[in-house]
């Protein structure tokens, strides 16, 4: 937080993302405020609260239009305004093409390599371009200076950086790609690869979570675009314009706001066990995320099946609570996953359940952050088994929730977070047997070992928190701006 305060360049900050930080929905005649389940939002919201500025996002709630002024703006957080939210409207047809189609049926599976075939349709691409232009226009309309710092977020806006550059040539544009960047061969599937690379290279800086993704990006540019690549200075120059390619591992705020007001761990343990009708001594593992096929939800259920087969002593004593927030349910790949997960949970419960006890409890609904943190605090273990994930902030939130320094994190080697949280039990989610053994080891882990591991992981997340993530990017932006000023003086 201090780093952010000292490095904050004297400039206007504008964020562009698809998902908005606050959603207003109408339910039973009343207006309800929702915090969306989105890693991007959990990371950026505290940064915007600290920096101020304007956040431009798609107004997606059923009551969103009722809350804005004539310019579609709203001061947020609603309880204690610190920055401005500008909502951009997208019709259902546009949403089907730009968001569900190109972004989530094309780029999402393309970048995650989770063996779901990416779909690329000409009409989706047309909507994607239209909406990118609409957001770029909104940036130009909201900017009150010729050279704001514009933070473009994620795969929904690969074309926006170039479009913003045309409208505001002096802007410092930092684009952060929250998901993995695949190798050049995989990216080559995309029919619009050159346009996407060209769009992104309108940025001043492109950020990824890991060096590995930066390297993949360099290889992709090298293969498909005629440009100058300097891997030593980590820069790509296209038509005289330089873009820096840098790793910035994203994180969470410290301490997390959702920790405020939490009951002591013992009380959380009791409350959650009571709510699920479990004995006070029951062992609980939790999994909490959007119901997404990249998260490896089926794979972790398979590993629980193997655990209860190889170690029947856990039957009746071990319960896995999976909280899954419905997401992108319009898409067949997502609704299919929901059906498969429900069927698999039933099957495993039938096989290993006894005396009314069910080893898998699947709760399919959205949970607000305080509920999520209560579950983290009540659990003995947390399972993050992503098949591929840029970072994964659930892993960091679990660690942040455990101020008692107890609890074990089981973490996929294919999540960026595994590079930082090395004291987790690192697993390959495709290998059900070894994941089952990791579960068994976690359940048997002595308290002092848990404490030592958790202590180190908490130190890591505390030091490398989201303010540092934003601070590093803004520091790089400040350097670019200073250099430009010096060059201008030199004439
Ligand atoms: C991932 C993406 C974010 C997105 C989030 C939630 O974390 O990187 O851009 O906001 O998933 O998905 P949704 O489609 O609901 O915004």
Mean pLDDT of 322-341: 97
Indicate whether 169 pLDDT > 70. yes
* Interval 291-316: pLDDT, tens: 999 999 999 999 999 999 999 999 99
> What pLDDT sits at residue 6?
63
Indicate whether 75 pLDDT > 80. yes
* 371 Cα–ligand 1 center, Å: 20
Query: What is the predicted ipTM?
Result: 0.98
C-alpha angle 115-121-122 in degrees, rounded to nearest 5: 150
* 132 Cα–ligand 1 center, Å: 17
* 156 Cα–ligand 1 center, Å: 9
* 166 Cα–ligand 1 center, Å: 27
Bridge partners of 363, per DSSP, are 323
* 38 Cα–ligand 1 center, Å: 5
Mean pLDDT of 331-337: 97
355, 360, 363, 368 alpha-carbon torsion, rounded to 10°: 110
Residue 4 C-alpha from the chain's centroid: 21
For residues 85 and 63, give the distance between their C-alpha atoms in angstroms, rounded to a whole number: 15
The upper half-sphere exposure of residue 431, i.e. CA atoms within 13 Å in the direction of its Cβ, equals 12
Q: Look at the pTM and tell me if it is higher than 0.90.
A: yes
* Interval 78-129: pLDDT, tens: 999 999 999 999 999 999 999 999 999 999 999 999 999 999 999 999 999 9
Instruction: Point out the ligand 1 atom lying closest to the alpha carbon of residue 155.
Output: 9
> What pLDDT sits at residue 482?
87
> What pLDDT sits at residue 491?
80
The two tokens of residue 40 are: 């991007």
* Interval 343-380: pLDDT, tens: 999 999 999 999 999 999 999 999 999 999 999 999 99
Bridge partners of 237, per DSSP, are 228, 242
* 456 Cα–ligand 1 center, Å: 29
For residues 290 and 432, give the distance between their C-alpha atoms in angstroms, rounded to a whole number: 21
Instruction: Indicate which residue's Cα is closest to atom 14 of ligand 1.
Output: 328
| Torsion-angle region of 90 (φ positive above 0: left; ψ -120 to 50: alpha; else: beta) | beta
436 and 469 in contact (C-beta within 8 Å)? no
* 39 Cα–ligand 1 center, Å: 7
Q: Is 152 in the pocket of ligand 1 (CB under 6 A)?
A: no
Helix axes 369-378, 393-401, angle to 10 degrees: 70
Mean pLDDT, the chain, as a whole number?
96
For residues 175 and 135, give the distance between their C-alpha atoms in angstroms, rounded to a whole number: 14
Indicate whether 5 pLDDT > 70. no
The two tokens of residue 11 are: 């400039």
173 and 202 in contact (C-beta within 8 Å)? yes
Place of tokens 């968001």: 99
Q: Is 180 in the pocket of ligand 1 (CB under 6 A)?
A: no
Instruction: Indicate which residue's Cα is closest to atom 12 of ligand 1.
Output: 38
Q: Is 179 in the pocket of ligand 1 (CB under 6 A)?
A: yes
Q: Does residue 5 or residue 215 have the better pLDDT?
A: 215
Q: Does residue 8 or residue 222 have the better pLDDT?
A: 222
Q: Is 197 in the pocket of ligand 1 (CB under 6 A)?
A: no
Which residues, 6+ apart, have CB-to-CB distance to 300 below 8 Å?
A: 287, 320, 322, 383, 385, 429, 435
**DSSP tally for the chain: helices H, then strands E:** 18, 18
Cα-only R_g, the chain:
23
* 350 Cα–ligand 1 center, Å: 34
215 and 146 in contact (C-beta within 8 Å)? no
Instruction: Point out the ligand 1 atom lying closest to the alpha carbon of residue 41.
Output: 10
For residues 165 and 134, give the distance between their C-alpha atoms in angstroms, rounded to a whole number: 14
Mean pLDDT of 34-44: 96
For residues 304 and 312, give the distance between their C-alpha atoms in angstroms, rounded to a whole number: 11
Q: Is 392 in the pocket of ligand 1 (CB under 6 A)?
A: no
Q: Is 295 in the pocket of ligand 1 (CB under 6 A)?
A: no
Q: Is 38 in the pocket of ligand 1 (CB under 6 A)?
A: yes
């Amino acid at each position: 937080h201090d780093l952010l305060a000292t490095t904050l360049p004297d400039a206007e900050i504008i964020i562009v993302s698809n998902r908005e930080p606050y959603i207003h929905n109408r339910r039973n005649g009343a207006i309800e405020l929702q915090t969306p389940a989105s890693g991007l939002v959990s990371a950026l919201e505290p940064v915007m609260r600290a920096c101020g500025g304007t956040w431009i996002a798609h107004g997606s709630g059923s009551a969103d239009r009722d809350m804005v002024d004539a310019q579609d703006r709203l001061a947020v957080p609603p309880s204690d305004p610190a920055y401005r939210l500008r909502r951009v409207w997208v019709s259902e047809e546009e949403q089907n093409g730009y968001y569900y189609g190109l972004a989530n049926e094309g780029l999402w599976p393309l970048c995650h390599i989770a063996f779901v075939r990416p779909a690329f349709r000409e009409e989706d691409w047309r909507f994607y371009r239209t909406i990118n232009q609409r957001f770029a226009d909104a940036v130009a309309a909201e900017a009150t200076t010729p050279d704001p710092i514009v933070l473009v977020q994620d795969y929904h806006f690969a074309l926006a950086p170039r479009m913003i550059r045309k409208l505001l040539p002096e802007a410092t544009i930092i684009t952060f790609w929250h998901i993995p960047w695949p190798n050049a061969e995989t990216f080559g599937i995309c029919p619009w690869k050159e346009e996407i690379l060209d769009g992104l290279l309108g940025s001043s800086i492109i950020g990824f979570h890991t060096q590995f993704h930066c390297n993949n990006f360099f290889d992709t540019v090298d293969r498909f675009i005629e440009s100058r690549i300097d891997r030593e200075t980590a820069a790509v120059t296209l038509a005289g314009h330089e873009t820096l390619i840098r790793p910035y591992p994203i994180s969470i705020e410290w301490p997390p706001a959702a920790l405020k007001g939490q009951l002591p761990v013992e009380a959380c343990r009791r409350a959650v066990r009571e709510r699920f009708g479990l004995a006070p001594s029951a062992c609980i593992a939790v999994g909490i995320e959007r119901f997404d096929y990249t998260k490896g939800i089926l794979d972790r259920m398979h590993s629980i099946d193997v655990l209860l087969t190889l170690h029947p002593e856990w039957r009746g004593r071990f319960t896995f609570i999976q909280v899954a927030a419905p997401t992108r349910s319009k898409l067949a790949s997502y609704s299919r996953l929901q059906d498969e997960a429900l069927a698999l949970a039933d099957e495993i419960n039938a096989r290993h359940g006894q005396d009314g006890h069910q080893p898998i409890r699947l709760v399919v609904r959205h949970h607000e952050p305080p509920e999520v943190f209560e579950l983290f605090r009540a659990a003995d273990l947390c399972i993050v088994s992503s098949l591929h994930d840029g970072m994964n902030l659930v892993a960091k939130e679990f660690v942040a929730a455990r101020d008692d320094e107890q609890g074990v994190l089981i973490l996929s080697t294919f999540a960026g977070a595994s590079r930082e949280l090395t004291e987790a039990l690192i697993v390959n989610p495709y290998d059900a047997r070894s994941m089952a053994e990791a579960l068994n080891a976690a359940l048997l882990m002595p308290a002092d070992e848990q404490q030592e591991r958790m202590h180190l992981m908490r130190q890591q997340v505390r030091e490398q928190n989201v303010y540092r993530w934003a601070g590093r990017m803004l520091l790089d932006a400040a350097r670019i701006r200073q250099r430009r000023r010096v060059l201008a003086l030199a004439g």
